[in-house]
Amino acid sequence: MKIIEAKTEAVLIADQPETFVTRRIPEAYFEMGGIPGDRHFGITRPADSRQPMYPRGTKIFNRRQITILSAEECEEIADRLGIEEVLPEWLGANLLLKGIPALTSLTMGSRLLFPSGAGLICQGENLPCRLPGEVIQKMNSHHPKLAANFVKAADRRRGIVCLVERPGIVRQGDTVRIWVNDFARPLQ
C-alpha cells in the first residue's frame, strides 16, 4: 500500500446560488454529506445524466460531495487549450491539491487524510461536462472554441469526486496524506 503526500493549495466553496463556480475560503468544516452551504452538500442528490441507470431526478445517495482537482492537471488543461491558466474556481473544485500530478487516476477507495483527522474516500474520476468550458470561454473571450474544446482537453484530467468518511476541518496549506487503494490488495 502506497502513501503519497500532497499540499492543499486551495479550499473552495460553491455558495453562490446562480452558479457552480466556487470561491476560495481559508478553511472549511467537512461534515458527513460535504461542506454545509455548498451546492453539492447533502446525503442525497437528484440523479442526472451521469447516472443513466436511474430516471433523471430520482433521489439517490450523494457520492459527489467534494470535487478535487490537481494543480498539475489544471496546467495541462490550460496548455491543451492554449490559454494561460485554468482556475479551479471555473471547474467548481472544492479542493486544489499540488504534488499529485495524476490525481484523476487515483483509484476508488483511496483515502485522503488531513491533519485535523478529516478523511475523504475517493469515489472515482469526475467526468468533464460542457458547463466549465462555457465559463472558461467567457473568461477568455478572445480565444475561439474553448467551450467546444474543453471536454476533450479535460478528459482524464478532470479530477475526482469524494465523499466525507470522517468529518473535520480542512485548511489551505494542509498536507494531505493519500493512502492509494491497490485493487490487488484492497483497502476496505
Interface residues toward a copy of itself, by CB under 8 A = 32, 43-44, 47, 50-51, 53-54, 58-61, 63-64, 108-109, 111, 113, 117, 119, 121, 123-127, 161, 163-166, 179, 181, 186-188
Q: Which is nearer to a copy of itself, 37 or 117 (CB)?
A: 117
- Tell me which residue of 165, 167, 137 sits closest to 149, measured CA to CA: 137
To a copy of itself, the closest distance from the beta carbon of 175 in angstroms equals 15
Of 102 and 127, CB closest to a copy of itself: 127
Nearer to a copy of itself, 141 or 188 (CB): 188
CA distance 110 to 68: 13
Nearest approach, Cβ of 188 to a copy of itself (angstroms)? 4
Q: Which helix (H) or strand (E) holds 178?
A: strand 175-180
Closest by CA position to 11, among listed 31, 26, 21, 30 = 26
Three cell numbers written together for 135:
465559463
**Nearest distance from residue 52's CB to a copy of itself, in Å?**
8
Nearer to a copy of itself, 64 or 157 (CB): 64
How far apart CA 80 and CA 70 sit, in angstroms, is: 16
Instruction: Please state the closest distance from residue 138 (CB atom) to a copy of itself, in A.
Output: 25
Which positions ≥6 away from 80 have C-beta within 8 Å? 149, 153
Give whichever of 91 and 146 is closer to a copy of itself, judged by the CB atom: 91
* Closest separation in Å from C-beta 114 to a copy of itself: 11
Q: Rounded to 5 degrees, what are φ and ψ at 147? A: -60, -45
Q: How far apart are CA 86 and CA 77, in angstroms?
A: 7
